[in-house]
Amino acid sequence: MLITDSVACLAAFYTAVMKVRFFCLDNDNRLQKVAQRHVEKAWWDERPWDGSTGRGLVRLVTVVLDGDHRLRGCFLLRLTLKDGRLTHEVRREILAAGQSGMEYFRKRSKPTGYPRIEKQMEGWPATLKRQLAVALDVPIRQLPAPRFGGPLVTAAQLRISVKRALVYFQEPVDET
């Protein structure tokens, strides 16, 4: 019982200080901040996505920060819209990509052999890191390399809230 209470206390601490920021790329490949509630409602409730991203595709960037606003990870998702919504099928495809390549996160070089993840990592502009550095007001060298997934995917896999999923991102993504 004591261990369970300690884990719950630790989880509460990290979710209280960890932050998540969402951005998406518009039609001109410019980074735009997106409200967390908008992303979560579109993901969980299949609410319509703002039409400004167009072309039936949302390129979502998720950044995880700790309580001192240090970067803990940068994650990418390509989400196909159907009638302006993220459907159950899209979420299932994203979760399948996550399940197919869990070892992806442990690779030191660009992994191959994970077609679902490779598809997710295609089509991002070369200026993405520079735009993120400007949006977050941090030196570009402090930005971790973008990876697939993030707290939204983890939350869906574990069937928990995005806020609770942040506990799994308390350590920075290993870049070595």
Stated pTM of the model: 0.80
* DSSP code at position 141: G
Asked whether residue 176 is domain-assigned, the answer is no
Task: Give CA–CA dist 151/166, Å, rounded.
Answer: 6
Task: Give CA–CA dist 73/94, Å, rounded.
Answer: 18
Read off the pLDDT band of 176 (50, 70, 90): very low
Bridge partner list, 45: none
Asked whether residue 174 is domain-assigned, the answer is no
And the tokens for 130? 């520079």
In terms of Cβ atoms closer than 10 Å to its own Cβ (0-12, 13-18, 19+), residue 118 is middle
pLDDT digits (tens, 9 = 90+) for 46-98: 788 875 544 588 999 999 988 888 888 999 999 888 888 888 888 888 888 87
Asked whether residue 103 is domain-assigned, the answer is yes
Q: Return the residue matching tokens 């072309």.
A: 55
pLDDT digits (tens, 9 = 90+) for 155-172: 988 889 999 998 888 776
Tell me which residue range forms the domain holding 28. Answer: 2-169
Asked whether residue 175 is domain-assigned, the answer is no
Task: Give CA–CA dist 76/145, Å, rounded.
Answer: 10
CA Rg value for the chain: 16
Task: Give CA–CA dist 116/93, Å, rounded.
Answer: 8
pLDDT digits (tens, 9 = 90+) for 127-152: 999 999 999 999 999 898 898 889 99
Asked whether residue 106 is domain-assigned, the answer is yes
Asked whether residue 23 is domain-assigned, the answer is yes
Task: Give CA–CA dist 20/34, Å, rounded.
Answer: 11
The answer to whether the beta carbons of residues 63 and 132 sit under 8 Å apart is yes
Question: How many domains would you assign to the chain?
Answer: 1
Bridge partner list, 74: 63
